[in-house]
Structure 1
Amino acid sequence: MSTVDPADFARAMARVPTPVTVVTTVDPGGRRWGFTASSFSSLSLDPTLVLVCPARTASCHDAFVSADRFLVNVLASGQAGVAGAFARPGADKFTQSPMEPREFGLPGLADATARIACALHDVLDGGDHSILVGRVEAVWTSDAEPLVYYNRLFTRPGGSPALASSA
């Protein structure tokens, strides 16, 4: 059992810059699902794997842990509004979003920094989150500057604030 205060841990982790992604999938009934994640990382080059971690309490959790495929949209610096919209619980996140079918027909952003299309490889226990391990099947990249989450603010790699701030 940890003796670290969760609030102290959260403050420490806020000091670690992370990429901002919106992860999407489509369920067998055709419903689109998505969430904002800063818990995204490469995992392996051989085989090519990434990981992303949805909260177990998220309404989209079950859709993702049972998905065949998912798409990681690495957001560009001007896409803080998209990140904020997909971070909110409740409403249909796709109604006002610029998402359109991309790799494997999954919802994606044409002007993202990168898109990484994955087949679900494994789902692992991550405490109050699940760890989705994706086997990378397709990638797309651009020269767009990425959006970064640091100290509870959306920012740019150089530290200047992005167009919209906190989540």
Structure 2
Amino acid sequence: MTSITSDDFRRAMSHFATGVAVVTARGDDGEQGATISALSSVSLDPLTLLICLNRRSATCQAIEQSGRFGLSILASHQEAVARRFAKPAQDKVTGTDEVRHRDGSVFVQDALAHIAAEVVETLRGGTHEIFLARPVHVALNSQAGDGPLLYFKGAFDLTS
């Protein structure tokens, strides 16, 4: 069997279309945010979801400090939001059309869904932290008429 490279693995995984979301958290250095596609429902009993973030990211550190995060599942028209939160920057949240939950969680306005979650367990997976979290608030956007923003073969898929 031939060993594979990280580039081989990345190309193979790029064939798995994923939804795109923005995760936000408030840490010692203020509000942070990142675009993610590594997110999944884990269990309905107990309610559990997971997200994965690079350990070196400011958003990962903010989640570790606060123990909670806001998750905005993006709609197909929100590619610009996804690109903004994908770039390294000090303050991506300010200036974004945002929605605040009463617990302080920040969400992207007009996203398909908002989920506030509290971390229940953190696992290490190579360069990433895997956060298992309990949803504590869910809101669906009844005004959203379009489908989800998808990521496929290294690009945003706008066919939805």
Answer yes or no: same fold by TM over 0.5. yes
**Per-residue deviation at 1:80?**
0.7
Alignment check: 8 A CA contact 1:103 1:117 kept = no
Alignment check: 8 A CA contact 2:113 2:139 kept = yes
Letter in 2 for 1:123: T
Aligned match of 2:141: 142
Gaps of 5+ in 1: 161-167
Alignment check: 8 A CA contact 1:49 1:134 kept = yes
SS of corresponding position for 2:53: coil
Taking the TM superposition and a 5 Å limit, the aligned residue runs for 1:24-103 are 24-27=24-27, 31-102=30-101
Aligned length: 156
**CA RMSD across the alignment:** 1.8
Q: Distance in 1 between matches of 2:155 and 2:36?
A: 14
**Per-residue deviation at 1:102?**
2.5
CA deviation map 1:75-123 (0-9, x unaligned): 0111111110001012310233112312522111231111111011111
**Per-residue deviation at 1:30?**
7.8
Percent sequence identity over aligned pairs: 36
Aligned match of 1:163: none
CA deviation map 1:131-158 (0-9, x unaligned): 01111111111253111111111124xx
TM-score by length of 1: 0.86
Alignment check: 8 A CA contact 1:74 1:112 kept = yes
Letter in 2 for 1:10: R
Letter in 1 for 2:25: T
Gaps of 5+ in 2: none
* 2:153 alignment partner, one of 126, 151, 154: 151
Aligned match of 1:11: 11
Aligned match of 1:20: 20
Q: Distance in 2 between matches of 1:36 and 1:93?
A: 11
The structure with the greater share of residues assigned to strand is 2
Alignment check: 8 A CA contact 1:103 1:138 kept = no
